[in-house]
């Protein structure tokens, strides 16, 4: 969908798509050229993008791609459809419960996650002044999620005794005692 959105700006070739993606969204995970071109082939196969010409470059000629009407429809739908709320517990929740089930110290699990989340927040906060507005927005998004996770860790720490009792009350066969 990212490549479709970038194609919506106008026809371009894979090299420019990669460069633009990396500048806007490639924070710590730049696209590989092979990924760009295989995605463009899939988009073309699925009727969401089309080859519209060749651009002579300093090296090899480059195939230009453009978004199709079907691609615009697909992009519009994707942009305006929220991700479904999974209802699945976060990984840290699962680790806390499994630590309790296995007789390990769930406080250590919570503390390890707390330290890791705080370390990541420090890194992101330090970067705030170095990046452009897009970098800052991406960092703010991640910080907000880390903050919510840290608040949950504090709540879980307070409730850990009750959680441990519930886990003990649930027999090893998965039935309530």
Residues 42 and 101 both lie in one domain: no
Question: Does 177 fall in a domain?
Answer: no
Tell me the pLDDT tens digit for each residue of 34-53. 999 999 999 999 999 999 88
Output 151 or 132, whichever has higher pLDDT. Answer: 151
The mean per-residue pLDDT over the stretch 9-31 comes to: 85
Residues 69 and 110 both lie in one domain: no
> SS3 sequence, the chain?
CHHHHHHCCCCECHHHHHHHHHHHHCCCCCCCHHHHHHHHHHHHHCCCEEEEEEECCCCCCEEEEEECHHHHHHHHHHHHCCCCCCCCCCHHHHHHHHHHHCCCCHHHHHHHHHHHHHHHHHHHHHHCCCCCHHHHHHHHHHHHHHHHHHHHHHHHHHHHHHHHHHHHHECCCCCEC
Give the end of a domain, one of 80, 106, 135.
80
Residues 64 and 105 both lie in one domain: no
Answer yes or no: is pLDDT of 104 > 90.
no
Output 177 or 49, whichever has higher pLDDT. Answer: 49
Number of domains in the chain: 2
Predicted confidence at residue 172, as pLDDT, reads 56
Answer yes or no: is pLDDT of 101 > 80.
no
Predicted confidence at residue 60, as pLDDT, reads 74
Residues 99 and 61 both lie in one domain: no
| Domain limits for position 103 | 91-170
CATH of the domain at 61: 1.10.10.10
Question: Does 12 fall in a domain?
Answer: yes
Residues 101 and 164 both lie in one domain: yes
Predicted confidence at residue 89, as pLDDT, reads 61
Answer yes or no: is pLDDT of 59 > 90.
no
Predicted confidence at residue 28, as pLDDT, reads 67
Question: Does 30 fall in a domain?
Answer: yes
Tell me the pLDDT tens digit for each residue of 156-176. 999 888 888 877 777 655 444
């Amino acid at each position: 969908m990212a490549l479709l959105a970038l194609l919506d700006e106008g026809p371009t070739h894979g090299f420019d798509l990669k460069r633009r993606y990396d500048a806007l969204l490639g924070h710590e995970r730049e696209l590989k050229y092979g990924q760009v071109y295989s995605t463009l082939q899939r988009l073309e196969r699925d009727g969401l993008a089309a080859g519209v010409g060749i651009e002579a470059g300093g090296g090899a000629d480059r195939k230009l791609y453009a978004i199709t009407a079907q691609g615009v429809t697909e992009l519009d739908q994707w942009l305006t459809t929220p991700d479904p709320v999974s209802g699945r517990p976060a990984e840290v929740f699962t680790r806390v419960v499994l630590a309790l089930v296995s007789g390990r110290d769930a406080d250590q699990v919570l503390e390890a996650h707390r330290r890791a989340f705080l370390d990541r927040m420090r890194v992101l906060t330090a970067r705030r002044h170095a990046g452009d507005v897009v970098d800052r927005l991406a960092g703010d998004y991640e910080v907000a999620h880390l903050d919510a996770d840290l608040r949950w860790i504090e709540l879980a720490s307070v409730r850990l005794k009750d959680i441990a009792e519930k886990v003990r009350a649930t027999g090893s066969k998965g039935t309530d005692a």
